[in-house]
């Protein structure tokens, strides 16, 4: 009989009687030689296995732990200077071996530790796999998981999968994106709304409705062959209520217990607040994100080791190019910093971007590595990149303000850059118009002219641009109707769709207008070092017209964005400190030559220019 935990007021453990059943799970199943993290904590799970003694042939066992739950054994082995191969893990009853498992040490890929990552040279394409494309209808439903496919249900499983991503890599490449951030692909066995996969039920297994672990590795390999990087979405703060451990926790304090469920207050600012109450901080970092997502207790060393090793295991196993971390400030801030540092100690060049959904630059800066704001409280998250939600906030307002006042319209973007002095590395911020948790940009802005203004800004701004799937064909969505409406299926991803927006001939005239502009802009960006690495000089917006320059070595780019409803004539002498001896430039959007010796630059209403300057 398995031990049961009942989540009411307390958790009650029923100790099992002696059973012939032995180890059902070993996690991780393998490690690699020559890792910085050479001491690996292995978890064994099975009915009453704590009664057995443990022996590992060829590896030094540094520590063995039994918990209050007799169905678990945790043991730590030293892998330093060991050869690749299989090492026998023996469970013994007295002197008799009752079960032998194999723990494998594998050879690392050459250069694995020094792998490069996504940078300012990239454009990240965010997609939700269940809603992107169905490449293999045979796995739409699967006997190992509860929820079955139902494309008629907005919040149901629709059948998109890894094969659908692989089959459309050429589309993403042709668009000009160079990295893919997919929302989580690990198993989510919730009975409803499992398509978003943030309530994970097995941290070592790809959801079978998406494919297999091997399919995920193949995605990474085939993407890399096309010059596309893969960023994995990781969730160390919580997992799903259907996680396999939830019926049989290793320890009572594996989760944050109140006892049982306690709701987070979502107030991440309590981490920084010098006047906060301990009660409020506790419910921020220990509270459950929602009732179906139990909050993990990283202050328990077993939990912390499990999560660190799992993250490193996926980077090494799948050969990943980067990590995005969900709900970063909802964790214990010291333990999430420890988690992040362990990964970057293993992979010094790996970029990790954290979701820090806050609306103040100082508060966002606090969570970036080496932050001058964090230093005030002697805190360092070790997190290389954060999401620039204040940029997103400005996007949500600025383009509906054609008659700008003192602090609205294009001033919103000017003031956002003013606060870059708060960041340790403002270039390594993820900037975006929208994502899978927000209203779609095209819902609020119906006119493609506004889309073109926003995309011009994002493609030339400091930071790493992130495009949400479908925006490039004009997809819209209103979050107030429910999350499913901002996560609709990409047209053409399913057999029988009325049009196929993955192809030029399959796109409607409107879809092609969005797509052709996006494709032109993003592919130009690939060869613009001034945008990737350049410094910025911005001028105060005048009459809702915003001008800034990106400068790097021999390349200087002038960006002009007219958010007003009238044509603007700009006095080029105002910009002479940058224009200097430049006499002309080519607008990459229109293809026109812009001359500066006439001392006037004209720009049509609700339009933009990206001018590559020429002497």
Phi, psi of 346 (to 5 degrees): -75, -35
439 is an active site residue? no
Strands 555-562 and 545-552: antiparallel
Distance CA 20, CA 98 (A): 9
DSSP state of 447: S
- Residue from 122, 202, 326, 332 carrying the catalytic annotation: 326
For 332, what's the count of Cα atoms within 13 Å in the CB-facing half-sphere? 16
- Residue from 161, 355, 434, 489 carrying the catalytic annotation: 355
Report CA-CA distances (Å) from 395 to 61, 167, 413, 563, 607: 55, 32, 8, 12, 16
The distance from CA 12 to its chain's CA centroid, rounded to whole angstroms, is 37
Instruction: Collect all residues with Cβ–Cβ distance below 8 Å to 230 and sequence separation of at least 6.
Output: 179, 180, 182, 219, 220, 223, 224, 318, 320, 321, 322
b/e per residue, 8-17, with b = 16+ CB within 10 A? eeebebeebe
Phi, psi of 220 (to 5 degrees): -60, -45
User: Residue 308, SS3?
Assistant: helix
Q: Are 185 and 132 in contact (CB under 8 A)?
A: no
Q: Which of 446, 441, 442, 440 has the alpha carbon at shortest distance from 483?
A: 440
Q: Which of 224, 227, 220, 196 has the alpha carbon at shortest distance from 209?
A: 196
Token pair listed for 566: 């009238």
Report CA-CA distances (Å) from 590 to 466, 521, 587: 24, 11, 6
Distance CA 479, CA 500 (A): 25
For Cα atoms 414, 353, 372, give the angle at the middle one, nearest 5 degrees: 60
The distance from CA 207 to its chain's CA centroid, rounded to whole angstroms, is 18
In the chain the first and final C-alpha atoms are separated, in Å, by 81
Distance CA 309, CA 342 (A): 9
188 is an active site residue? no
| Positive or negative: CA dihedral 339, 343, 345, 348 | negative
Residue where the block lists tokens 């893990």: 89
Q: Which of 532, 523, 497, 543 has the alpha carbon at shortest distance from 589?
A: 523
Token pair listed for 22: 């032995």
Phi, psi of 199 (to 5 degrees): -105, 70
Token pair listed for 281: 């901080």
Phi, psi of 529 (to 5 degrees): -60, -25
Active site residues: 326, 355
């Amino acid at each position: 009989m398995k031990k049961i935990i009942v989540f009411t007021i307390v958790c009650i453990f029923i100790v099992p009687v002696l059973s012939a059943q032995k180890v059902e799970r070993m996690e991780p199943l393998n490690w690699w030689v020559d890792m910085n993290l050479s001491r690996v904590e292995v978890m064994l799970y099975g009915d009453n296995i704590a009664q057995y003694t443990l022996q590992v042939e060829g590896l030094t066992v540094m520590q063995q732990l039994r918990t209050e739950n007799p169905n678990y054994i945790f043991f730590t082995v030293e892998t330093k200077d060991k050869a690749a191969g299989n090492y026998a893990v023996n469970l013994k009853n007295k002197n008799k071996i009752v079960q032998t498992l194999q723990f494998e040490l594998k050879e690392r890929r050459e250069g694995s530790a020094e792998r490069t990552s996504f940078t300012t040279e990239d454009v990240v394409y965010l997609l939700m796999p269940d809603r992107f494309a169905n490449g293999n209808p045979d796995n739409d439903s699967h006997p190992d998981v509860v929820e079955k496919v139902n494309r008629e249900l907005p919040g149901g499983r629709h059948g998109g999968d890894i094969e659908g991503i692989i089959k459309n890599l050429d589309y993403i490449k042709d668009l000009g994106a160079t990295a893919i951030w997919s929302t989580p692909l690990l198993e989510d066995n919730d009975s409803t709304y499992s398509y978003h996969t943030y309530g994970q039920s097995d941290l070592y297994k790809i959801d079978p409705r998406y494919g297999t672990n091997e399919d995920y590795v193949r995605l990474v390999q085939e993407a890399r062959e096309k010059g596309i990087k893969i960023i994995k979405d990781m969730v160390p703060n919580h997992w799903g209520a259907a996680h396999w451990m939830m019926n049989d926790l290793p320890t009572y304090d594996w989760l944050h217990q109140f006892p049982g469920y306690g709701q987070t207050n979502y107030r991440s600012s309590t981490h920084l607040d010098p006047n906060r109450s301990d009660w409020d901080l506790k419910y921020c970092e220990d509270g459950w994100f929602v009732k179906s997502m139990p909050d993990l207790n990283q202050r328990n060393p077993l939990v912390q080791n499990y999560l660190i090793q799992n993250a490193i295991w996926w980077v090494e196993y799948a050969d990943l190019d980067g990590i995005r971390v969900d709900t970063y400030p909802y964790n214990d801030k010291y333990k999430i910093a420890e988690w992040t540092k362990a990964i970057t100690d293993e992979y010094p060049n790996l970029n990790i971007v954290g979701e820090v959904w806050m609306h103040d630059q100082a508060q966002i800066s606090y969570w970036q590595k080496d932050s001058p704001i964090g230093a005030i409280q002697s805190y360092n998250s070790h997190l290389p990149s954060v999401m620039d939600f204040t940029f997103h906030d400005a996007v949500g307002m600025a383009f509906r303000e054609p008659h700008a006042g003192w602090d609205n319209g294009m001033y919103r973007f000017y003031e956002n850059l003013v606060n870059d002095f708060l960041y340790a590395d403002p270039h390594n911020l993820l900037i975006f118009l929208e994502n899978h948790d927000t209203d779609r940009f095209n819902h609020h802005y119906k006119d493609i002219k506004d889309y073109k203004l926003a995309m011009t800004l994002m493609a030339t701004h400091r930071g790493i641009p992130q495009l949400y799937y479908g925006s490039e064909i004009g997809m819209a969505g209103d979050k107030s109707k429910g999350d499913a409406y901002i996560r609709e299926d990409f047209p053409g991803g399913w057999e029988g769709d009325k049009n196929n927006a993955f192809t030029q001939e399959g796109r409607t005239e409107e879809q092609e207008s969005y797509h052709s502009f996006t494709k032109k802009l993003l592919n130009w960006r690939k060869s613009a070092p001034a945008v990737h690495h350049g410094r910025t000089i911005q001028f105060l917006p005048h009459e809702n017209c915003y001008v800034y320059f990106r400068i790097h070595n021999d390349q200087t780019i002038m960006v002009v964005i007219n958010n007003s409803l009238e044509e603007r004539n700009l006095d080029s002498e105002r910009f002479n400190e940058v224009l200097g001896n430049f006499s002309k430039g080519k607008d990459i959007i229109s293809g026109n030559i812009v001359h500066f010796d006439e001392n006037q630059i004209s720009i049509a209403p609700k339009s933009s220019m990206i001018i590559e300057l020429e002497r």
